[in-house]
Amino acid sequence: MTTAKAFSCIVKAKPPVSPLVIPEFKYANVYLVLFAWYQLSGFTIVCVLRFLLGSVIVVCGVFALYLSAEEERILRGFEGEARARALEVIVRVGEALGASRLIEIKHAHISGVSYENIGDFGVEFIEGFRALGARFSVPTSVNPVSYDVDDLSSIPGVTFERSYVEAQEAIVRALRDMGADLIFTCTPYYAGIPEVYGLKAGDHVAWGESSAVAYANSVLGIRTNREGGPLALMAAIAGRTYYYGMHVEGERKPTISYVLEPRVVLDEVEAGVLGELVARMHVGERPPHVVALFEGDSALKEFLAALGTVSDIAMAHIHNITPENPGDEIKEVVKISYNMLEEELREKMPTDEVDIVYIGCPHSSLEELMKLAKTLEGTGTIKARIVVSTSREVYLKALKLGLVERLRRAKANIVRSSCLIVSPFANHNRGVKVATNSYKAYHYLSRKGVKAYLTRISYIKHLAKT
Ligand code: F3S
């Protein structure tokens, strides 16, 4: 189900305001749609079975979810209709999953805020909640939007119609009115969110954006399920999510370990390919345990983003990185050879010159910008466009360090608050050859009709004009 269709169904559904323990069937579509959208997004047999089981459980009303007196009060509408509706959806999904209770969250991060992805139904849905007087109950940040809000011309080959900009602005206005922190990035961890809101290992949040979810669980030890955009929005308004999956201590303990041999230190692009391999091999509900060495934080970011792209995995327990005990339930050790990884990468590398080199999916860290600037400076004039996407926060830090000037001097396009995937870039650049160090960008650009390849940042040197 596409995001736009999910929004369409949700908008048409009429969730009740009164508290319900066993749902009336006519209301079931709201959470079943959300549930189906979330569960089927990975397209795995396990997900289909989980969905079917969840549906049977809902229809039979087998599980009753415990609600505190405060939650009952919210559901009765004492804190407004919007909060009651949002909590209702969370309760329904929690019941469908078999959660025993809800849990308070400290923060929410909402994905699916790009007009390109959610269309008019998404605008209607978000504006509908704002019209009901919805306010976020916890600090809430948001993912990238469909264009660079500071520079409409920074996405190559794309010009935006006034009506398109107005639709995106309507989404942003509604989110702002509800109290969102408009960071427009998929790397809230590089934009200072954990520091600003005092988030630490063991805290519970509700984040959308698969790459950020995997980073939160695996690197920061912050607990979140992989919420769909609408569910993260509901959790932000309700201030709660269901106690299930990655929120439960025991569910975070791995049973299968993946060991890279020999223990080569992986750069970003190799890390992405390892993420893809682990995601394809992994079976079961528990997070995979991974033994590998990563060159830096950007490589970790790319590994986790690839993992979340190819599967519905929300966490990897990474040896010497994840700040919690993996437990002692590992029953199987799978060895992955570095040769296999190299072969996989070689197949996806460009054999010819490309038109664009794209860095920054998920949004670039300062470390990645430095590496790019250094490579560009030693290369001279390049026969391709260099595009890098990052958050406004990292951009400001790069500006202070003189990095932005160095990148611009080397003719790099810097995109803030958006990226080549959630913008209409692909619609305007079919057949264009793009090389990227991000497995996630490679995956989505290929699916959108762009000729995408995987490469290292150092590949830029081969594109120098002689
Ligand atoms: Fe971020 Fe866009 Fe990639 S939102 S994770 S840069 S697809």
- Ligand 1 centroid–CA 147 distance in Å is 12
Taking residues 28-42, report their average pLDDT.
46
Cα–Cα distance, 326 to 340 (Å, whole number):
26
Residues 6+ apart with CB under 8 A from 249: none
pLDDT confidence of residue 212: 98
Taking residues 175-184, report their average pLDDT.
98
Q: For ligand 1, say whether the CB of 89 is within 6 Å of any of its atoms.
A: no
Which atom of ligand 1 has the smallest separation from the CA of 305? 5
Q: Is the CB of residue 403 less than 8 Å from the CB of residue 369?
A: yes
Q: What angle do CA 344, 209, 447 make, to 5 degrees?
A: 45
- Ligand 1 centroid–CA 265 distance in Å is 25
Q: Is the dihedral of CA 242, 246, 252, 254 positive or negative?
A: positive
Q: Is the CB of residue 332 less than 8 Å from the CB of residue 302?
A: no
- Ligand 1 centroid–CA 70 distance in Å is 37
pLDDT confidence of residue 59: 53
Which atom of ligand 1 has the smallest separation from the CA of 389? 6
Q: What angle do CA 213, 116, 397 make, to 5 degrees?
A: 55
User: What 3-state class would DSSP assign to 109?
Assistant: strand
Cα–Cα distance, 327 to 11 (Å, whole number):
43
Cα–Cα distance, 461 to 458 (Å, whole number):
6
Q: For ligand 1, say whether the CB of 186 is within 6 Å of any of its atoms.
A: yes
Q: Is the CB of residue 436 less than 8 Å from the CB of residue 352?
A: no
112 backbone φψ class: left, alpha, beta (φ>0; ψ -120 to 50): left
How does residue 25 score in pLDDT terms, banded at 50, 70 and 90? very low
- Residues 132-152: pLDDT tens digits? 999 999 999 999 999 999 999
How does residue 463 score in pLDDT terms, banded at 50, 70 and 90? confident
pLDDT at 96 over 90: yes
* Residue 212 vs residue 62, higher pLDDT: 212
Q: Is the CB of residue 34 less than 8 Å from the CB of residue 89?
A: yes
Q: CB neighbours (10 Å) of residue 440?
A: 27
pLDDT confidence of residue 62: 47
pLDDT confidence of residue 56: 55
- Ligand 1 centroid–CA 163 distance in Å is 24
pLDDT confidence of residue 147: 97
Pairing of β 140-142 and β 108-110: parallel
Query: What is the DSSP track for 317-355?
Result: EETTTSSS---S---EEEEEEHHHHHHHHHHHS-SS--S
Which H helix or E strand runs over 144?
none
pLDDT at 259 over 70: yes
Read off the pTM: 0.88
Of 310, 279, 296, nearest in space to 447 by CA: 310
Taking residues 376-392, report their average pLDDT.
90
- Ligand 1 centroid–CA 420 distance in Å is 8
Taking residues 388-400, report their average pLDDT.
97
pLDDT confidence of residue 209: 96
Q: What is the dihedral of CA 391, 397, 401, 403, to 10 degrees?
A: 0
Q: For ligand 1, say whether the CB of 421 is within 6 Å of any of its atoms.
A: yes
Taking residues 276-299, report their average pLDDT.
96
Q: For ligand 1, say whether the CB of 306 is within 6 Å of any of its atoms.
A: no
Of 3-17, 119-133, 210-224, 348-362, minimum mean pLDDT range: 3-17
Asked, as a colleague might, if the bond just before 362 is cis with ω within 30 of 0, I would say yes
- Ligand 1 centroid–CA 428 distance in Å is 18
Q: Which residue puts its alpha carbon closest to atom 1 of ligand 1?
A: 362
* Residue 383 vs residue 401, higher pLDDT: 401
In the chain, the percentage of residues whose pLDDT exceeds 90 is 80
pLDDT confidence of residue 460: 86
pLDDT confidence of residue 462: 82
pLDDT confidence of residue 53: 56
- Residues 277-288: pLDDT tens digits? 999 999 988 999
pLDDT at 197 over 50: yes
Residue among 154, 302, 421 to mutate when testing ligand 1 (max atoms within 8 A of CB): 421
Rounded to the nearest integer, the mean pLDDT of the chain is 89
Q: For ligand 1, say whether the CB of 361 is within 6 Å of any of its atoms.
A: yes
Q: CB neighbours (10 Å) of residue 257?
A: 18
Of 180, 192, 317, 194, nearest in space to 237 by CA: 180
Distances (CA, A) of 82 to 325, 350, 439: 39, 50, 38
- Ligand 1 centroid–CA 67 distance in Å is 36
